[in-house]
């Protein structure tokens, strides 16, 4: 008796709790009115799904449902107790076998939040979702990837077999190497050469045999890698030479074609040379684009396009051509910058643009900064000061130089280090209030320190009168 009572109370409180948390995190994803993961309806019936959520909703229908189809209706309304929820009703009438698939309701703005149900629309005259026109479908076989014969069915209980033709060999799904799934068809985990050829999915309904036929095709058009020896940005000077090397790694026996697009293509300003080499496992194709003397008009995007049968790849780089070498050095924030003593680190960063890369030296008060103090180091072209101290105040100069072209620039920045005000007397000892003679002359001292020098203000607090407190 006690046991039963306990269970009842426990069960009840458990449910109340669940409901509470439910309201809190409610509709973080939309909710469908069907709780089953799958539905089975018959052809010509009406499919109706209701979805509810906190934000605007959107339906994603199986590819077999035409984009424009007057059998599909979507009615949207506001709902919920305060009318602050979104409801959407999908009606599909009549439902047809080819509409079999996953129906998803998701948030328009948060598309990963979704609810879905898989709907089978059974039709004894159409056991496969797809009806073939006679020629088999091509399925591509890729090295290291599973092979899928996509013979989806309209009834989850359909008995389907996979058959290899010439020689006729029935293949039984063993759920290790061959897997049957009514929503996907047959999957062969690690296809071997045996799987090259003609195959069919077969099922018999009311004594009639239905098939989906496939031919597998092993592609040797596999581009494995495309590589440009300078990705990102190429910066260079007018009159200099540009050479870009596009390297393609592809499977043995594959053929690739490499082409370039670049700003001077119409003028034919580049020469292109090709080379092929073979290694034990794959082929390497090189295409080298050379422009012997660059002009301003050669600046822009250089693309290397690679095609091999149906596969396509491309890679690119941007080329910037400067008229002449230069250094542009400017202050970021005025001639005086401020830091505070005790700060973990402080960075002096002027605006610097230069080509080619200049050498950088930082001076502090006329001496090389990094040699003056171990807390200073140069990072890129910035000077970083660790654990800022009062003594770091001073005049800093950045020298930027490109020796090769005799270009030099410098810039001076004054650093002020602020120090928090301190009262000297406070650090010694806090004096106890003493007694002094009435009418006598007293001097109180306050010594302060800080950068900038602090202002001093005296305040007087009268003592509480005896007997009042």
Ligand X SMILES: *[C@@H]1O[C@H](CO)[C@@H](O)[C@H](O)[C@H]1NC(C)=O
Q: In sequence order, what are the beta bridge partners of 379?
A: 382
Nearer of residues 211 and 230 to ligand X, judged by Cβ: 230
Please answer whether residues 250 and 282 qualify as being in contact, where contact means their C-beta atoms are separated by less than 8 angstroms: yes
Binding to ligand X by CB under 6 A, coded x per residue (else -) over 234-253, reads ---------x-x-x------
Tell me which residue has tokens 């040379």. 273
Please answer whether residues 339 and 418 qualify as being in contact, where contact means their C-beta atoms are separated by less than 8 angstroms: yes
Please answer whether residues 449 and 424 qualify as being in contact, where contact means their C-beta atoms are separated by less than 8 angstroms: yes
Q: How far is the CB of 206 from ligand X (least distance, A)?
A: 13
Nearer of residues 156 and 263 to ligand X, judged by Cβ: 263
Q: How far apart are CA 405 and CA 322, in angstroms?
A: 14
Q: How far apart are CA 380 and CA 26, in angstroms?
A: 51
Tell me which residue has tokens 């007997």. 467
- What residues from 311 to 350 belong to the interface with ligand X (CB under 6 A)? 315-316
Q: How far apart are CA 284 and CA 279, in angstroms?
A: 8
From the list 197-205, 262-270, 350-358, 424-432, the region that binds ligand X by CB under 6 A is 262-270
132 belongs to the binding site for ligand X (CB under 6 A) = no
Nearer of residues 100 and 269 to ligand X, judged by Cβ: 269
From the list 40-48, 53-61, 101-109, 129-137, the region that binds ligand X by CB under 6 A is 40-48
Q: How far apart are CA 387 and CA 392, in angstroms?
A: 10
- What residues from 44 to 73 belong to the interface with ligand X (CB under 6 A)? 44, 70
Nearer of residues 181 and 235 to ligand X, judged by Cβ: 235
Nearer of residues 57 and 363 to ligand X, judged by Cβ: 363
Structure tokens that stand for 187 in this block: 């999957």
- What residues from 179 to 218 belong to the interface with ligand X (CB under 6 A)? none
Q: How far apart are CA 217 and CA 195, in angstroms?
A: 9
From the list 15-23, 142-150, 194-202, 259-267, the region that binds ligand X by CB under 6 A is 259-267
Q: Of the candidates 55, 59, 260, 286, which one interacts with ligand X according to CB under 6 A?
A: 286
Q: How far is the CB of 231 from ligand X (least distance, A)?
A: 7
Tell me which residue has tokens 């800093």. 396
Residue 137: other Cβ atoms inside 10 A: 14
| Beta strand 38-42 pairing with 114-122 | parallel
Q: How far is the CB of 417 from ligand X (least distance, A)?
A: 23
Q: Of the candidates 63, 102, 297, 345, which one interacts with ligand X according to CB under 6 A?
A: 297
What DSSP designation does 154 have? S
Q: Contacts for 430-438 with beta carbons within 8 Å, 24 or more apart?
A: none
Nearer of residues 44 and 190 to ligand X, judged by Cβ: 44
Q: How far apart are CA 100 and CA 21, in angstroms?
A: 35
Nearer of residues 153 and 162 to ligand X, judged by Cβ: 153
Q: How far is the CB of 268 from ligand X (least distance, A)?
A: 9
Structure tokens that stand for 338 in this block: 């401020």
Nearer of residues 169 and 261 to ligand X, judged by Cβ: 261
| Beta strand 208-218 pairing with 137-141 | parallel
Q: How far is the CB of 358 from ligand X (least distance, A)?
A: 13
Structure tokens that stand for 249 in this block: 């790694």
Grouping H, G, I as helix, E, B as strand and the rest as coil, residue 350 is coil
272 belongs to the binding site for ligand X (CB under 6 A) = no
Q: Of the candidates 38, 169, 410, 447, which one interacts with ligand X according to CB under 6 A?
A: 410
- List all residues 6 or more positions away from 167 whose beta carbon is below 8 Å from its beta carbon: none
Nearer of residues 29 and 93 to ligand X, judged by Cβ: 93
* Residues engaged in binding ligand X (CB under 6 A): 42-44, 70, 229-230, 243, 245, 247, 263-264, 267, 269, 286, 288, 297, 301, 315-316, 397, 399, 410
């Amino acid at each position: 008796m006690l046991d039963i009572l306990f269970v009842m109370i426990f069960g009840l409180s458990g449910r109340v709790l669940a409901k509470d948390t439910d309201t809190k995190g409610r509709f973080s994803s939309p909710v469908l009115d069907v709780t089953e993961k799958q539905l089975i309806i018959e052809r010509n019936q009406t499919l109706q799904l209701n979805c509810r959520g906190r934000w605007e909703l959107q339906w994603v229908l199986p590819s077999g449902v035409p984009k424009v189809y007057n059998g599909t209706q979507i009615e949207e309304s506001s709902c919920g107790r305060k009318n602050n929820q979104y409801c959407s009703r999908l009606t599909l009438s009549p439902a047809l076998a080819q509409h079999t698939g996953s129906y998803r309701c998701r948030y328009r703005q948060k598309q990963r939040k979704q609810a879905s149900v898989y709907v089978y629309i059974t039709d004894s005259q159409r056991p496969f979702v797809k009806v073939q026109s006679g020629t088999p479908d091509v399925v591509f076989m890729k090295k290291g990837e599973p092979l899928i014969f996509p013979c989806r069915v309209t009834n989850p209980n359909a008995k389907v077999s996979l058959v290899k033709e010439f020689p006729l060999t029935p293949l039984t799904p063993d759920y290790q190497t061959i897997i049957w799934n009514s929503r996907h068809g047959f999957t062969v985990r690690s296809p071997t050469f045996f799987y090259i050829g003609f195959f069919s999915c077969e099922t018999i309904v009311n004594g009639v045999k239905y098939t989906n036929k496939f031919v597998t095709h092993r592609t040797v058009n596999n581009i494995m890698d495309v590589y440009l020896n300078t990705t990102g940005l190429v910066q260079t000077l007018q009159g200099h030479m540009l050479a870009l090397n596009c390297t393609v790694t592809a499977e043995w026996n594959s053929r690739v074609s490499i082409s370039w697009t670049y700003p001077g293509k119409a003028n034919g300003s580049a020469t292109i040379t090709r080379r092929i080499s073979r290694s034990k496992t794959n082929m390497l194709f090189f295409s080298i684009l050379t422009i012997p003397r660059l002009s301003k008009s050669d600046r822009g995007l250089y693309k290397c396009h690679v095609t091999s049968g149906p596969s396509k790849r491309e890679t690119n780089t941007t080329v910037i051509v400067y008229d002449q070498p230069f250094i542009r050095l400017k202050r970021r924030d005025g001639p005086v910058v401020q830091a505070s003593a005790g700060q973990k680190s402080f960075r002096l960063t002027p605006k610097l643009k230069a080509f080619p890369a200049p050498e950088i030296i930082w001076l502090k008060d006329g001496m090389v900064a990094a040699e003056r103090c171990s807390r200073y180091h140069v990072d890129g072209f910035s000077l970083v000061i660790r654990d800022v101290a009062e003594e770091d105040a001073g005049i800093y100069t950045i020298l930027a130089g490109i020796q090769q072209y005799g270009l030099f620039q410098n810039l001076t920045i004054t650093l002020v280090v602020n120090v928090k005000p301190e009262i000297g007397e406070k650090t010694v000892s806090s004096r106890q209030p003493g007694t002094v003679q009435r009418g006598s002359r007293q001097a109180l001292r306050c010594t302060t320190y800080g950068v900038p020098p602090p202002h001093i203000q005296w305040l007087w607090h009268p003592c509480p009168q005896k007997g009042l407190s």
